[in-house]
Amino acid sequence: MAGSGIFGEIIDGDVFKYYADGEWKKSSSGKAVSIINPTTRKTQYKVQACTQEEVNKVMETAKAAQKSWAKTPLWKRAELLHKAAAILKEHRAPIAEALIKEIAKPAKDAVTEVVRSGDLVSYCAEEGVRILGQGTFLVSDSFPGNERTKYCLTSKIPLGVVLAIPPFNYPVNLAVSKIAPALIAGNSLVLKPPTQGAVACLHMVHCFHLAGFPKGLISCITGKGSEIGDFLTMHPGVNCISFTGGDTGIAISKKAGMIPLQMELGGKDACIVLEDADLDLVAANIVKGGFSYSGQRCTAVKVVLVMESIADTLVEKVKSKVAKLTVGPPEDDCDITPVVSESSANFIEGLVMDAKQKGATFCQEYKREGNLIWPLLLDHVRPDMRIAWEEPFGPVLPVIRIGSVEEGIHHCNASNFGLQGCVFTKDINKAMLISDAMETGTVQINSAPARGPDHFPFQGIKDSGIGSQGITNSINMMTKVKSTVINLPTPSYTMG
Ligand code: NAP
């Protein structure tokens, strides 16, 4: 059970503690933030509302701890990460339970998220050993006008204190995808978990604590992003921000100082379907891509752009699959579970009502009970409807019928987002041309968008983000190149 057994020390009464200086602590604020269970809509857990003084203290200890961590041999850093990964996977059950209660993640997916996170940490340790164990060696006479008198040695050095802010939908996985690269590269790490998902994150942090990382190297500050977020992101002690979430990331980018930013933000992933596509494959991918975790995924299929001539057939196939989705509580491992909050459900409903008013065809009846929204396919959506452009982050999927491939590409590129997209066709030449024309960070050919496997590069363009994720890119992003140049008194040529 969450907060019991080896996790007993992370809770005090009914409030979970925050983690600083290698210890679990109560905030001096005396205040707690409630985490509402999306299914029951009642308070499930409480976490500390940390103060600005506590943030200051954490930044100080993070800076000091980083100095000695950077001197810890790479193989030893990797060893500790492997240990944390094993503990995380061993204790997946209570962490998955927190994911079910805090964010209504279907039971099996909750376990998968924790296991996948352990695998990510291990892979990151291995990749770090490989890529950080290498540098470059340059000689000066390759550049015009130079003799061979300078040898340049470059290596990758840590940035300092990395601030990690993940979103609610994959709180554990998107936290470790920042923590592991930061640590293997020799940085210290301050985590600000999402409020919904904070308890799962605190359990995950305890696994790192149990692995034996040095005091102060990892800290976890809890509290509402709207209250503590600006203080954290603008803190002078922060040397890098890795953020995943919505438009909040755009605001952070404007306020942050001159530090590297990794921003993975929203998406409106388009699925372009050509006339020659295998429509059974397309329908399966649309349902999986559009409705998994009730559409609350950055890479969910968020608009289908289908050629008019095959649209009726495709819509029928998708409809019959949607009818088979199970709807209910996450404990029962239903496909469609309550969305994260009442405000999120209200926002989704607003998009649905706008589409209704403007004449979209409802393939199912719109149904909502509390935060639970039944899966809904909207056909004949037009560009004047909000749902054609906005990210519902819910189980509602618009279909726009297109007269040409160019029309589909145009709709995709007119979006302010550019995370992923996908194209279904049997013609690989056409698929490549469409992929090149789509202004998105990734294009999937004949499959729904996806973030994983976690070592693949993952990036958005336009309002979907800055920089690139994926294990290798994250390690590189959390380092800086350092050069040492050896200057010789006379040119030196090997074997000369
Ligand atoms: P969000 O509202 O932007 O919140 C993300 C994180 O930011 C949370 O930890 C939140 O804490 C924190 N936060 C809020 N205000 C802040 C502030 N002023 N300063 C610093 N941090 C602040 O996003 P969400 O609702 O959790 O997640 C959904 C969004 O994430 C969607 O748009 C989705 O597309 C996007 N997403 C993108 C990716 C990707 O890789 N591209 C992956 C997953 C999700 P609180 O919870 O305490 O408010």
Judged on CB neighbours under 10 Å (0-12, 13-18, 19+), 62 is: buried
Does the global pTM surpass 0.95?
Answer: yes
Query: In this predicted structure, what is the pLDDT of residue 2?
Result: 87
pLDDT tens digits, residue range 364-423?
Answer: 999 999 999 999 999 999 999 999 999 999 999 999 999 999 999 999 999 999 999 999
Minimum-distance ligand 1 atom for the alpha carbon of 224: 47
Distance CA 23, CA 94 (A): 20
End-to-end CA distance of the chain: 70
Minimum-distance ligand 1 atom for the alpha carbon of 226: 15
Minimum-distance ligand 1 atom for the alpha carbon of 298: 34
Identify any residues that bridge with 373 across adjacent strands, giving them in sequence order.
368
* Residue 259 Ramachandran class (φ > 0 left, ψ -120 to 50 alpha, else beta): beta
Of 270, 279, 268, 305, nearest to 425 by C-alpha is 279
CA of 209 to the centre of ligand 1 (A): 25
CA of 396 to the centre of ligand 1 (A): 20
Q: Which of 120, 174, 224, 248 to mutate to test the pocket of ligand 1 (most atoms within 8 A of CB)?
A: 248
Of 340, 182, 328, nearest to 246 by C-alpha is 340
Distance CA 33, CA 69 (A): 32
Query: In this predicted structure, what is the pLDDT of residue 1?
Result: 86
- Compute CA distances 487 → 151, 152, 153, 483, whole Å: 7, 9, 11, 13
Q: Which of 169, 233, 344 to mutate to test the pocket of ligand 1 (most atoms within 8 A of CB)?
A: 169
Rg (Cα) of the chain, in Å, rounded? 24
Minimum-distance ligand 1 atom for the alpha carbon of 245: 30
Atom 19 (ligand 1) nearest CA:
229
Distance CA 161, CA 163 (A): 7
- DSSP assignment, residue 213? P
Q: Which of 54, 97, 113, 264 is labelled catalytic?
A: 264
Q: Which of 231, 244, 469 to mutate to test the pocket of ligand 1 (most atoms within 8 A of CB)?
A: 244
pLDDT tens digits, residue range 211-236?
Answer: 999 999 999 999 999 999 999 999 99
Atom 40 (ligand 1) nearest CA:
264
Identify any residues that bridge with 415 across adjacent strands, giving them in sequence order.
none
Decide if 80 contacts 414 (C-beta within 8 A): no
Residues of the chain whose pLDDT is less than 70? none
Minimum-distance ligand 1 atom for the alpha carbon of 166: 9
Provide the greatest CA pair distance for the chain. 82
Query: In this predicted structure, what is the pLDDT of residue 292?
Result: 98
Catalytic status, residue 9: no
CA of 175 to the centre of ligand 1 (A): 12
Which residues sit with their C-beta closer than 6 Å to ligand 1? 165, 167-169, 194-195, 224-226, 229-230, 233, 244-246, 248, 252, 264-267, 298, 391, 393, 419, 460, 465
CA of 337 to the centre of ligand 1 (A): 20
CA of 266 to the centre of ligand 1 (A): 9
Query: In this predicted structure, what is the pLDDT of residue 452?
Result: 86
Minimum-distance ligand 1 atom for the alpha carbon of 248: 3
CA of 141 to the centre of ligand 1 (A): 49
CA of 331 to the centre of ligand 1 (A): 25
Tokens 């059950």 -> residue: 93
